[in-house]
Structure 1
Amino acid sequence: MKRLFDLALAIVASVVLALPILIVAVLVRLTSPGPALYWSDRVGRRNRIFRMPKFRSMRMGTPAVATHLLANPAAHLTPIGPFLRKSSLDELPQLWSILVGDMSFVGPRPALFNQDDLIALRTAQGVDALVPGLTGWAQVNGRDELPIPQKVALDAEYLRRRSLWFDIRILWLTAAKVLRRDGVSH
């Protein structure tokens, strides 16, 4: 049921958002050298690595680490990077990952391949059994501001509580957070 929900919603979203996706891709290309998309190695279900697309908000050559680990993250942003991140438009290409089954709309956010602490804690809690999501329970409860152990605790709570209705609630809360731009790091 969850996969059918994801497919139907991803197809509708892809059609509705086709023009904005095209506009953002052109703007990324016009404002900084390099491709519009950045393909990030992420950890999926059962700790399998997959390639997740995002609109590129960082300059070419930026180290592949979590933003908070960069000495001066703002120095690595492209001219439209802050806008893409604050608006969450950089996440739109992840519709592709949902369509191909690497991601779901709701689940724990996929860890970077080198976030060993997050991966180990999730595996210990059984969270690695879940398909990662575009959004999740941790995202609506603090997003980038949460320390890793608290994120994992919320991911484990999602594992215990997951249902279609809980997913719909999380999607609704995510829409509200994105519109208010709550908890977004720059």
Structure 2
Amino acid sequence: MFRMIDFFAALFGLLFLWPVMLIVVVIGLFDTGSPVFVQTRVGKNQKPFRLVKFRTMQKDTESVASHLSSSTSITKLGSFLRKTKLDELPQLINVLKGEMSLVGPRPNLFNQEELIEARQAQGIYDVLPGITGLAQVQNIDMSTPELLANTDRQMIETMTLKNYFHYILMTVIGSGRGDAVKK
């Protein structure tokens, strides 16, 4: 049931939001010269997939978790995209392809070994990663691997249609600050 909702929501999201995405791409060309960011992430069953986002940091920023990056790496457009969560819109492509869900544990990088270990112990990789979820609306980021894995497990165990739409609504109306970065 969730996969069908994901598919149609992503399809309609891309159809209706393409003008917004086009504007971000054009502005992004002037901001960094490379508005789209593609990064390999850990997916369901720990299989790699290529996550697509709008670039919010300088092109030469090291590929590490956001909380390990310096806030000086974030561009002016990137700051706006993160606050509004518009940087996440291209992930609708990942949802459409079946690599992600709208709601699920945020996909981590392969170099986040402590988080991978905590998530393996909780069985988090048994489900599709998501654009948003319980941890995101509660401002829990990847800097606290055990807490994040426990929160992801809680979300998975209590996932209902009501919770699914609740997490999406909370994200749309502004719950969660997005990925933290070092000040």
Question: d(CA) in 2 for partners of 1:147 and 1:122?
Answer: 12
The number of equivalent residue pairs is 180
Match for 1:150 among 147, 150, 155? 147
Question: d(CA) in 1 for partners of 2:9 and 2:38?
Answer: 23
Scaled by the length of structure 1, the TM-score of the pair is 0.90
SS state of the match for residue 76, structure 2? coil
Give the partner amino acid of 2:12.
Answer: V
Unpaired runs of at least 5, structure 1: none
Corresponding position of 1:83: 80
Corresponding position of 1:42: 41
Corresponding position of 1:92: 89
Corresponding position of 1:183: 177
User: Which runs of structure 2 are paired with 1:103-114 in the superposition (5 Å)?
Assistant: 103-114=100-111
Q: Aligned-residue CA RMSD in angstroms?
A: 1.6
Q: Could you tell me how far 1:162 is from its partner in structure 2?
A: 1.5
1:143–1:183 Cα contact (<8 Å) kept: no
Describe the superposition over 1:37-88 as per-residue Cα deviations: whole angstroms up to 9, x where unpaired.
1101110001111000111111111100012213xx1221223111111111
SS state of the match for residue 50, structure 2? strand
- Identical columns (%): 37
SS state of the match for residue 141, structure 2? helix
User: Which runs of structure 2 are paired with 1:102-181 in the superposition (5 Å)?
Assistant: 102-144=99-141, 147-177=144-174
2:56–2:87 Cα contact (<8 Å) kept: yes
Question: d(CA) in 1 for partners of 2:29 and 2:140?
Answer: 28
Unpaired runs of at least 5, structure 2: none
Scaled by the length of structure 2, the TM-score of the pair is 0.92
Corresponding position of 2:6: 6
Corresponding position of 1:15: 15
Post-superposition, which runs of at least 4 consecutive aligned residues in structure 1 deviate over 3 A? 143-146
User: CA distance change for structure 1 residues 95 and 155 in 2, over 3 Å: closer, same or farther?
Assistant: same
1:39–1:54 Cα contact (<8 Å) kept: yes
SS state of the match for residue 42, structure 1? strand
SS state of the match for residue 41, structure 1? strand
Corresponding position of 1:60: 59
